[in-house]
């Protein structure tokens, strides 16, 4: 009878885990799966996929052609200051599969990644502290959310606001595939760490696994190296040296990878303390507390004092509480460990990981796109998920399970899935059918640099079409992405991030002058000097000079898109 009871409990646990992984994986995948598919209105794109997804496809189309790869949206330059291992993976998958890169990116990889995150989360948590820790770790890695939904519910009467307090949450993990892949690698590394046997070989292997993070997602590589350094120092005091071997191996291989792939890259970070916290209360599209923002600014003008320090601390707490939401219970496990003097090696790793994920967000921003530094905080939340899972696991294991507390935590966490509303209804933008036809034609043409029109934000404001045509929606890399060709100038946002030696403003000015000039000699010289092979024009976009006088020939025209080839 007792054996049968134990068997039933085991089967129930297996069923619960299976349901969690299926629902969690499906939920994560919904942010990606519909983008890149063909509909009556063309190829649709939802949410961040209108920009970020297209950028990854663009990089992947160029990644195997040279090393370091050519910049896909800025011809004549190499792609630096960028972690492109994921793009290599994507490009290699296209080589060995019958699918195009955009189908692999939006449909195939999300399924694999979401399942991997759930399964690995359980395996690591289970190995660390048992079944329920693994179960709840998978839960938080699938559904962990901010309190943004609560803010928008009270202010606007809708569930939304994932990034009200700045940080992306678990539901959006897959729209940043390098981040998702970095979580998978961290979980694999931690699993081997938990099952490792004493020996230099296993330690070196774990170090090599962690070292790959530097080219998958540089933020994760920095954080994990810091965490390994802290763990190694702790272990030395305990007269154990295996963790030192892991750290040295990871640091050595990471350094080689970094210098091979980022030779000549510049510093990307600027010292701007509390930029995220201040902008959070100052920006109408964030938490926005104008009275508190003005009060803080007045105190700052008066000089540093007790009141200013108190206000800054309050703003930091708002930032943390808003972003962490139910993850805050993880601090209970941390305090319990400290109070009871219970410390495992994984605890130490996680403590240093938390520190490395938080400090950069408090003190630094990234050049070009300041808010990119918030990605350090993604890993702070990820590591805190371990302790939040442990707290819930302790509650679940108690003889008298407090169902009410568990229910409250789950109920306060799940509304984070409200972000799916941006991915399951009308797409934000689309490439209309005739433009898809043109891009397919260009993809099959000989290789060469493509010249496109500059994105004009005014066009988006004047459009009532739904979905908006992608070229009117945002400055993206879509021509490069779906033609497989290198562009002369596209996607201004990523040009700022990737830091090219010729300022994008210079090339933008040259491009504007080309499309405005009536001087045949200057226009022809511009095309030849920059090795332009194709000119891609949509709708009313035009050149001021007759094609025959400019030395270009129309090779494609479907009444919506015209493609010209430059004669040499």
Residue 482, pLDDT above cutoff 70: yes
Among 26-35, 285-294, 499-508, the least confident range: 499-508
**Model confidence pLDDT, tens digit, residues 3-13:** 666 667 788 88
The full length of the chain comes to 568
Average pLDDT of 46-50? 92
pLDDT of residue 258: 83
Q: Are the CB atoms for 520 and 545 separated by under 8 Å? A: yes
pLDDT band at 270 (very low <50, low <70, confident <90, very high): confident
Beta strands in 404-453 (DSSP E): 429-431, 449-452
pLDDT of residue 457: 82
Tokens of 84: 């492109």
DSSP 175: G
pLDDT of residue 551: 92
pLDDT band at 80 (very low <50, low <70, confident <90, very high): confident
pLDDT band at 20 (very low <50, low <70, confident <90, very high): very high
Query: 565 versus 69: which is more confidently predicted?
Result: 565
pLDDT of residue 463: 62
Q: At what angle do helices 218-237 and 242-261 cross, to 10 degrees?
A: 160
How many Cα atoms within 13 Å fall on the side-chain side of residue 458? 1
Q: Are the CB atoms for 170 and 114 separated by under 8 Å? A: no
pLDDT band at 190 (very low <50, low <70, confident <90, very high): very high
Among 164-178, 193-207, 370-384, 527-541, the least confident range: 193-207
Residue 370, pLDDT above cutoff 80: no
**Model confidence pLDDT, tens digit, residues 239-252:** 888 899 999 999 99
**Model confidence pLDDT, tens digit, residues 507-523:** 999 999 999 999 999 99
Among 17-21, 392-396, 434-438, the least confident range: 392-396
Query: 484 versus 8: which is more confidently predicted?
Result: 484
Q: Quick one: which of 213, 206, 215 has its CA closest to 85?
A: 215
∠ Cα 148 151 157 (to 5°): 115
pLDDT of residue 494: 85
Residue 444, pLDDT above cutoff 80: yes
DSSP characters over 7-60: HHHHHHHHHHHHHHHHHHHHHHHTTTTTTT-EETTEEEE-GGGGTHHHHHHHHH
Residue 462, pLDDT above cutoff 70: no
Tokens 């509909």 belong to which residue? 39
Tokens of 342: 């219970």
- In whole angstroms, how far apart are CA 54 and each of 17, 35, 347, 470, 479? 34, 10, 38, 11, 9
Among 52-61, 260-269, 342-351, the least confident range: 260-269
pLDDT band at 312 (very low <50, low <70, confident <90, very high): very high
Q: Quick one: which of 458, 501, 506, 448 has its CA closest to 479?
A: 448
Average pLDDT of 336-343? 87
Query: 241 versus 438: which is more confidently predicted?
Result: 438
DSSP characters over 465-530: -SSEEHHHH----HHHHHH---BSS--HHHHHHHT-SS-HHHHHHHHHHHHH---HHHHHHHHHHT
pLDDT of residue 126: 96
| End-to-end Cα, the chain, rounded Å | 86
Residue 82, pLDDT above cutoff 90: no
Rounded Cα–Cα distance for residues 103 and 304 (Å): 54
Among 13-27, 294-308, 519-533, the least confident range: 294-308
Residue 310, pLDDT above cutoff 70: yes
Q: Quick one: which of 151, 204, 166, 79 has its CA closest to 501?
A: 79
Among 179-193, 259-273, 390-404, 408-422, the least confident range: 259-273
Residue 555, pLDDT above cutoff 90: yes
Residue 399, pLDDT above cutoff 80: no
Rounded Cα–Cα distance for residues 98 and 94 (Å): 7
pLDDT of residue 499: 66
Tokens 């000039």 belong to which residue? 517
Q: At what angle do helices 345-363 and 177-195 cross, to 10 degrees?
A: 150
pLDDT of residue 259: 80
Q: Are the CB atoms for 566 and 532 separated by under 8 Å? A: yes
pLDDT of residue 263: 57
Q: Are the CB atoms for 206 and 189 separated by under 8 Å? A: yes
Residue 267, pLDDT above cutoff 60: no
Residue 398, pLDDT above cutoff 90: no
Residue 269, pLDDT above cutoff 60: yes
Q: Rounded to an integer, what is the distance from CA 236 to the centroid of its chain? A: 35
pLDDT of residue 5: 60
Rounded Cα–Cα distance for residues 209 and 377 (Å): 22
**Model confidence pLDDT, tens digit, residues 347-366:** 999 999 999 999 999 999 88
Q: Are the CB atoms for 274 and 313 separated by under 8 Å? A: no
Rounded Cα–Cα distance for residues 119 and 111 (Å): 12
Pairing between β-strand 429-431 and β-strand 468-469 as defined by DSSP bridges: parallel
Tell me the chain's radius of gyration from C-alpha atoms: 26
Mean pLDDT over the full length of the chain? 91
pLDDT of residue 192: 94
């Amino acid at each position: 009878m007792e054996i049968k009871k134990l068997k039933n409990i085991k089967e129930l646990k297996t069923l619960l885990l299976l349901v969690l992984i299926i629902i969690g994986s499906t939920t994560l995948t919904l942010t990606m799966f519909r983008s890149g598919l063909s509909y009556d209105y063309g190829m649709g794109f939802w949410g961040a996929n209108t920009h970020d997804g297209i950028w990854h496809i663009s990089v992947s189309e160029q990644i195997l052609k040279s090393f370091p790869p050519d910049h896909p949206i800025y011809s004549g330059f190499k792609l630096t200051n960028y972690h492109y291992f994921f793009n290599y993976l994507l490009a290699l998958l296209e080589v060995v599969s019958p699918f195009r890169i955009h189908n692999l990116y939006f449909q195939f990889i999300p399924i694999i990644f979401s399942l991997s995150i759930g399964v690995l989360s359980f395996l690591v948590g289970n190995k660390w502290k048992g079944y329920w820790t693994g179960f709840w770790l998978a839960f938080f890695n699938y559904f962990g959310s901010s309190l943004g939904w609560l803010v928008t519910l009270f202010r606007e009467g809708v569930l939304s606001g994932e990034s009200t307090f700045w940080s992306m949450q678990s539901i959006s993990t897959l729209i940043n595939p390098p981040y998702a892949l970095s979580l998978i690698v961290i979980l694999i590394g931690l699993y081997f760490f938990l099952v490792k046997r004493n020996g230099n070989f296993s330690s070196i292997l774990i170090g090599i696994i962690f070292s790959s993070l530097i080219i998958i997602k540089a933020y994760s590589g920095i954080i994990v190296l810091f965490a390994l350094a802290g763990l190694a120092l702790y272990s030395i005091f305990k007269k154990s040296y295996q963790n030192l071997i892991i750290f040295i191996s990871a640091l050595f291989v990471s350094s080689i990878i970094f210098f091979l792939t980022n030779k000549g890259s510049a510093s990307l970070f600027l010292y701007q303390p509390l930029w995220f916290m201040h902008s959070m209360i100052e920006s109408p599209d964030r938490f926005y507390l104008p009275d508190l923002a003005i009060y803080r600014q007045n105190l700052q003008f008066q000089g540093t004092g007790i009141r200013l320090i108190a206000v800054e601390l309050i703003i930091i707490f708002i930032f943390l509480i808003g972003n962490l939401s139910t993850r805050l219970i993880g601090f209970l496990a941390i305090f319990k460990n400290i109070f009871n003097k219970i410390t495992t090696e994984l605890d130490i790793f996680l403590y240093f990981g938390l520190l490395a994920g938080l400090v950069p967000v408090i003190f630094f921003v990234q050049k070009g796109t300041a808010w990119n530094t918030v990605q350090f905080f993604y890993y702070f939340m990820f590591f805190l998920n371990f302790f939040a899972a442990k707290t819930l696991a302790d509650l679940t294991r108690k003889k008298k399970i407090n169902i009410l507390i568990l229910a409250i935590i789950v109920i306060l966490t799940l509304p984070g899935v409200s972000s799916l509303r941006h991915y399951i209804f009308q797409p934000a933008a689309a490439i209309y059918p005739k433009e898809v036809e043109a891009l397919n034609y260009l993809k099959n043409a000989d290789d060469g640099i493509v010249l496109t029109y500059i994105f004009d934000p005014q066009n988006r404001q004047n459009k009532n079409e739904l979905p908006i045509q992608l070229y009117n929606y945002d400055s993206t890399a879509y021509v490069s992405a779906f033609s497989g060709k290198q562009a002369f100038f596209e996607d201004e946002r990523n040009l700022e991030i990737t830091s090219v030696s010729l300022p994008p403003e210079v090339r933008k000015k040259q491009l504007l002058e080309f499309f405005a000039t009536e001087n045949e000699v200057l226009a022809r010289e511009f095309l030849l000097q920059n090795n332009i092979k194709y000119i891609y024009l949509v709708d009313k976009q035009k050149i001021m000079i007759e094609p025959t006088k400019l030395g270009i020939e129309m090779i494609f025209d479907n009444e919506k898109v015209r493609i010209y080839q430059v004669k040499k």
